[in-house]
Amino acid sequence: MKKIITIIITLTIFFSTINISFAERTYNEWYIEQLLDLNIWIEEYDLTLAHITQIYFSDVNTQNLFEEFKRTSYLLNEEIIKSYREWKFDYYQVNWIISNQKKFIYHINRLFYYISIKEQNSNYIETDDFILKHYNVSRTYYKRIQALVNKNY
């Protein structure tokens, strides 16, 4: 019992001195929040979970196109997160953006998957249909994201 009381007293003293040192810092945000990155909410984690899966192509032009899609997707995510942190979106707008962004990434992944299949076996006509379908659907979701990001309330 004495050990427990000693530990509690030691922890209390420790945390009370830490609070003083945090209060003395002159950051824009609390120091502990910066350490724990508490200004990131669950929506940002949802947004960063959806990413384009790495695929390698033998055709250099296709590989460059793929890398450009990855880079653009990353920049789009960063811009959405930046605007989200600046409170430019409300809660519903953020959820719609995340939902559409995940679907956009899904269809981009499928698009490049079927392009890689086409690259390996170029004589399958069904592959062309799948490529066209996922290309059109991904464009639709991208336009939705654009509309949601540019929407002013």
Distances in Å between the alpha carbon of 26 and those of 18, 122, 123? 15, 62, 65
Residue 124: pLDDT band by 50, 70, 90 thresholds?
Answer: confident
- Please state the rounded mean pLDDT for residues 1-6: 61
Q: Answer for the pair 149, 97: CB distance below 8 angstroms, yes or no.
A: yes
Q: Given this model, what pLDDT does residue 24 score?
A: 46
Output the CA angle 20-25-26, nearest 5 degrees. 145
Please give the Cα distance from 45 to 80 (Å, whole number).
12
Distances in Å between the alpha carbon of 124 and those of 11, 33, 104, 135? 68, 54, 25, 17
* Strand, helix or coil for residue 58: coil
Q: Give the amino acid at 83.
A: S
Q: What is the pTM of this model?
A: 0.66
Q: Count the alpha carbons within 13 Å of 40 in the hemisphere toward its beta carbon.
A: 11
pLDDT per residue as tens digits for the range 48-91:
667 788 888 888 998 998 998 888 888 888 887 787 778 787 77
Q: How many residues are there in the chain?
A: 153
Q: Given this model, what pLDDT does residue 145 score?
A: 86
Q: Give the amino acid at 48.
A: T
Please give the Cα distance from 145 to 37 (Å, whole number).
26
